[in-house]
Structure 1
Amino acid sequence: MDSHVIGQTLIKLRGNRTQEEVAKAIGISKSALSMYERGERIPRDNIKIRISAYYKKPIHKIFFNQKTHET
């Protein structure tokens, strides 16, 4: 898992929604979401599940780099 790639993916998924809006919907702090988006932290598994459900995307599409699995 590359935290910076994950961060860019999360930013892309968030689109024009605010960090506050998304964080509240997921049940995390705005600062936690900000750290995930900046690639400073990777969410724990239970948070990954909530993020995946919120964006309606499979966990592996958000958090796992496909190139890593091909090598």
Structure 2
Amino acid sequence: MDGEKIGQILRGLRGEKSAVEVSSALGISKSALAMYERGDRIPRDEIKVRIAKYYKKSVQSIFFI
């Protein structure tokens, strides 16, 4: 898994939505979302599933590219 690439995908998916809105909907902190979007951390599997459901994408299309 390429953290930087995943971060780019996550930033693109968030688009114009605020980080607060997305992190709140996902049940994670704003700082955790920021780390995922910068590619500093890869989310746990449970969070990957939440992110994929939120954006109506498959886990594979976001995290296994």
TM above 0.5:
yes
Determine if the alignment matches structure 1 residue 35 to structure 2 residue 35: yes
Q: How does 1:14-25 map to 2 (within 5 A)?
A: 14-25=14-25
- Structure 1 outlier segments of 4+, above 3 Å: none
Structure 1 equivalent of residue 45 of structure 2? 45
Structure 1 equivalent of residue 12 of structure 2? 12
* Residue identity matched to 2:25: A
Matched-pair identity in %: 62
Q: Which is greater in Rg? A: 1
User: What's the offset of the Cα at 1:20?
Assistant: 0.6
TM-score (norm 1): 0.90
Number of residue pairs matched by the alignment: 65
**Structure 1 CA distance for aligned equivalents of residues 58 and 45 of structure 2:** 13
User: What's the offset of the Cα at 1:3?
Assistant: 0.3
Unaligned 5+ residue runs, structure 1?
66-71
